[in-house]
Amino acid sequence: MLKVDNIDVYYGNIQALKSVSLEVNQGEIVTLIGANGAGKSTLLKTISGLLKPRQGNIVYLDQFIAGKQAQAIVKQGISHVPEGRRVFANMTVEENLELGAFLRRDKDGMRKDFEKVYDLFPRLLERRKQLAGTLSGGEQQMLAMGRALMARPKLLLLDEPSMGLAPLLVKTIFRIIQEINEAGTTILLVEQNAHMALSVANRAYVLETGRVVLSGTAAELNASDEVKMAYLGGH
């Protein structure tokens, strides 16, 4: 479904991604794990059109998308839930969700998707007239995910969904990630909580200082001594 082929990405003169390649097949949850500053968010931003690679290709459903405008990429079926949630604080929950469907014109389909989002996140239904800025961190994460789903993506890019959340909420968010995937959305997940990420993913890539240094099934990476030492607290 998605093939990232040898991309180099720079911030000015600083190279953030070095010959990165990865693949995501339809229906999978693929996770990217790695330390802070490894280039994980940069990779998602490059796939979603917020950054342009200096070299290499990105192919999504047989179309070249590297360097395309972000809105064109959303139109093709890729939604991005950014790190730090980035909800529109002075708009209501409902208005945030409407903005997720900005490119759509199918009123009936949108209505159904509102219901789907409220089914996945009942808390958002209770808060739908509330300003997004007044929500808790966990509720804002739910809203950011709901907003992305309103674009009806085929591929969902999730950047650090568990960051800053209480352990109980982290479990809830990961359960919902699995539900979204089971309902037919393919997911590329960036996550510092390697343990949780590997528990839901089919496959995983490890990024270190802008390079892919390991890849395999989630079970293989879970069992790898290297991964255990670096990301799973050594046990």
- Which residue's entry shows tokens 């002075």? 90
Digit-coded pLDDT (tens) for 103-129: 777 888 778 888 889 989 999 999 999
What is the DSSP annotation of 173-190? HHHHHHHHHHTT-EEEEE
Find the domain containing 18 and state its range: 2-231
DSSP alpha helix (H) spans, the chain = 40-47, 70-75, 93-100, 107-120, 122-126, 137-149, 167-182, 194-200, 218-223, 225-231
Task: Enter the tokens of residue 108.
Answer: 């009936």
Assigned token pair, 185: 């959305």
Query: pLDDT value at position 213?
Result: 95
Rounded to the nearest 10 degrees, what angle do helices 107-120 and 167-182 cross at?
140
Q: Does residue 235 carry a pLDDT above 60? A: no
Number of domains the chain is built from: 1
C-beta of residue 47 within 8 angstroms of C-beta of residue 4: yes
**Residue carrying the six token digits 């953030």:** 16
Question: What is the per-residue pLDDT for 21?
Answer: 98
The CATH number covering residue 155 comes to 3.40.50.300
pLDDT tens-digit profile of 42-78? 999 999 999 999 999 999 999 999 989 999 999 999 9
